[in-house]
Amino acid sequence: MESWKGFCMTVCLVSLITAPLCSLIPTRLRRQTELVMRLFLLLCLLAPLSQISLPDWGALRVGTEVPVRSVDLDGLLQQEIEARISQALSEKLEENGIFAEEIRIDITVAEDGVELDSARILLPQQEKSQSELARSVAEQLLGTGVEVSDGAGG
């Protein structure tokens, strides 16, 4: 409370001092003097604020440390790449009139690149006749062999 009282008194006194001084200066020095007075007023306003004590937020911590969750970036990257490849393959199959029930892509992420381990496409039972077309479209897109099966497991 005492610091706020000091702050208010400083603002009043500095204002009372600078107002008459600004009116007494000659016109040719007015801009420079006003700049100096504004800087003086700013310093006088900020000085009491530097003495106000803020709460120590570090002391509010509970005695136990909160463990930081480790994030498996490689796993997230692998999932994202698999999802994007699956989506691209799904869009390519749909362009050819083939609607897959499920597309499963398995990849390995290494330091030197990404390797496609396997690709499986599950077609509905009624799409069984298009399994060869689905295989050729997928192999053309992915550049590797693809397993295609229908809903009956065949």
Cβ(10)–Cβ(50) below 8 Å: no
Task: State pLDDT tens for residues 79-93.
Answer: 888 898 899 989 998
Task: State pLDDT tens for residues 21-46.
Answer: 777 778 788 888 888 878 877 877 77
pLDDT score of 4 more than 80:
no
Buried b (16+ CB within 10 A) or exposed e, 15-49: eeebeeeeeeeeeeeeeeeeeebeeebeebeeebe
Report the chain's mean pLDDT, rounded to a whole number.
78
What's the whole-number mean pLDDT along residues 56-69? 59
Domain boundaries, the chain: 2-55, 73-150
Task: State pLDDT tens for residues 5-22.
Answer: 777 777 787 778 777 877
pLDDT score of 62 more than 60:
no
User: Would you place residue 49 in the very low, low, confident or very high pLDDT band (cuts 50, 70, 90)?
Assistant: low
pLDDT above 90 as % of the chain? 2
CATH 3.30.70 fits domain 73-150: yes
What's the per-residue H, E or C state across the chain? CHHHHHHHHHHHHHHHHHHHHHHHCCHHHHHHHHHHHHHHHHHHHHHHHCCCCCCCHHHHCCCCCCCCCCCCHHHHHHHHHHHHHHHHHHHHHHHCCCCCCEEEEEEEEECCEEEEEEEEEEECHHHHHHHHHHHHHHHHHHCCCCEEEECCCC
Which comes out higher in pLDDT, residue 120 or 42?
Answer: 120
pLDDT above 70 as % of the chain? 79
